[in-house]
Amino acid sequence: MISKDFFSALNDLEEQKHINKEEFIQILETALTSAYKKNFGEARSAFVKLIPEKNTIKLYAYKVVVDEVEDPEKQISLEEANANAGRNKYKVGDLITEEVTPKEDFGRIAAQTAKHIIMQKIHETEKEKLIQEMNGKENEIITGIINRKDEKNVYVEIGNSSTYGVLSNYDQIPKEKYNIGDKIKVFVKQIKDTPFGPQICLSRRAPGYVRRLLEIEVPEIENGEIEIKSIAREAGLRTKIAVAATNGVLDPVGACIGNKGTRINTLSAELNGEKLDIIEYSDDPFVYIARALSPATAKSVEIDELNHTAKVIVDKDKLSLAIGSNGHNVRLAAKLTGYKIDVKTEEEDAKDNMYNSGIADNLNENDFEIAEDEDFDINNENSTENAEDTNTDNNIDELNADDFEIDFGQDEDNK
């Protein structure tokens, strides 16, 4: 079979998709041979040979030279092989081949098989190429250009290649605008396989995006002098970041904020004006929880380790600040510390008859003291109990409305 167009297409694939043509031809020969046997039976042994120099595809049948023939369709005796060999002399184990003309249907089957193999090889090649290009870039920030978008997704062209990443609706910063042609920084969240090939999942919403931005902006984090302990984020609103100095000397919060807030302002601008709270991490959960509620100031903290909950007391005028709009500040503090946090005022706490177990006025560990138990007036307790007993002894059922007289006619003189 002569197929000039077929081999021309193979050349194009080699140039455009960087597919090794020789390797591709070997795969095609194996696939076409299997297709032939599957559709026309395996009574005879055969193989397909692609000859690019002549733009031809040939089908050969072959027999194995043996001493004693058991399967005439696949074997030939040594005597018969040498009788027809002319000058060539065969030995046991050699193959004797002859070209055969395939059935008419084989052309259609070969075309379908080749198409399937080509598409499969293209996907594999693109996957390998993508993996090579993105090797080591997962969980990193890259810069791309917005190529197109639809109702849910934004498609970002990465580098100068034809590789695209997908910024899904979930991974976008709420209310952020994305215009075609704009340059954009994105976080490579995951590279996953799909039925349509590998897909690069991008994000501007993941906490890892803020982490990498901070690591790039603050050299002390990059060189290990400052460690990011935890990040809690509600994209578009606020992010809380707990940091700690590894050497115990450096001010981790000041280093992250930068001189006159230059570093933190750069991060906030990149995040479309999102507010960032940098707090110093503490091993003391009382201190850590109090700091996590920044910008609000906690008056006291009580922790229930068994249920992993915390009660924080704040001034009445700081309650809304501690809770935040729609509760986002206290939610982020809970995510950051890992404790379920209940924020109350002293008035609300008094109604629930609960007592403070820790004080964090200045947010320093040394300032925390365990409150002593309050003294109770036993006489008052007894008096209350006696009064209750007296009320219990009265026969309420015998009281009538006429037994009560109220004089509303007294004037000031009678008083």
Alpha-carbon 328 to chain mean position: 21
Which has more pLDDT, 70 or 334? 334
Which pairs from 223-226 meet CB under 8 Å and 24+ separation?
225/250, 225/255, 226/250, 226/252, 226/255, 226/256
Mean pLDDT is lowest, of 131-140, 258-267, 387-396, for 387-396
Which has more pLDDT, 32 or 143? 143
Structure pTM?
Answer: 0.59
Number of helical (H) and strand (E) elements in the chain, helices listed first: 13, 15
For residue 75, what pLDDT band results from cuts at 50, 70 and 90?
confident
Q: What percent of the chain has pLDDT over 70?
A: 77
For residue 86, what pLDDT band results from cuts at 50, 70 and 90?
low
* Pair 271, 329: CB distance under 8 Å: no
How much is the average pLDDT of 373-383?
44
Q: What percent of the chain has pLDDT over 90?
A: 39
Which has more pLDDT, 3 or 208? 208
Mean pLDDT is lowest, of 84-98, 163-177, 279-293, for 84-98
Alpha carbons 32 and 49: distance in angstroms, whole number: 9
For residue 370, what pLDDT band results from cuts at 50, 70 and 90?
very low
Alpha carbons 301 and 293: distance in angstroms, whole number: 11
Above 60 in pLDDT, residue 140? yes
How much is the average pLDDT of 3-15?
75
Q: Into which CATH architecture does domain 223-281 fall? A: 2-Layer Sandwich (3.30)
Above 90 in pLDDT, residue 278? yes
Above 50 in pLDDT, residue 173? yes
For residue 3, what pLDDT band results from cuts at 50, 70 and 90?
low
Residue 297's pLDDT is 92
Q: Which amino acid is at 62?
A: Y
Helix (H, G, I), strand (E, B) or coil at 338: coil
Residue 36's pLDDT is 74
Looking at every residue in the chain, the average pLDDT score rounds to: 79
From-to residues of CATH 3.30.300.20 in the chain? 223-281, 285-393
Which has more pLDDT, 30 or 160? 30
Mean pLDDT is lowest, of 63-72, 144-153, 324-333, for 63-72
Q: Into which CATH architecture does domain 4-132 fall? A: 2-Layer Sandwich (3.30)
* Pair 78, 66: CB distance under 8 Å: yes
Closest CA to 312 of 345, 277, 354: 345
Above 60 in pLDDT, residue 274? yes
From-to residues of CATH 2.40.50.140 in the chain? 136-205
Residue 184's pLDDT is 92
As assigned by CATH, the class of the 285-393 domain is alpha beta
Mean pLDDT is lowest, of 40-49, 285-294, 321-330, for 40-49
Residue 161's pLDDT is 58
Q: Which CATH number fits domain 136-205: 1.10.510.10, 3.30.1370.60, 2.40.50.140, 3.10.180.10?
A: 2.40.50.140
Above 60 in pLDDT, residue 403? no
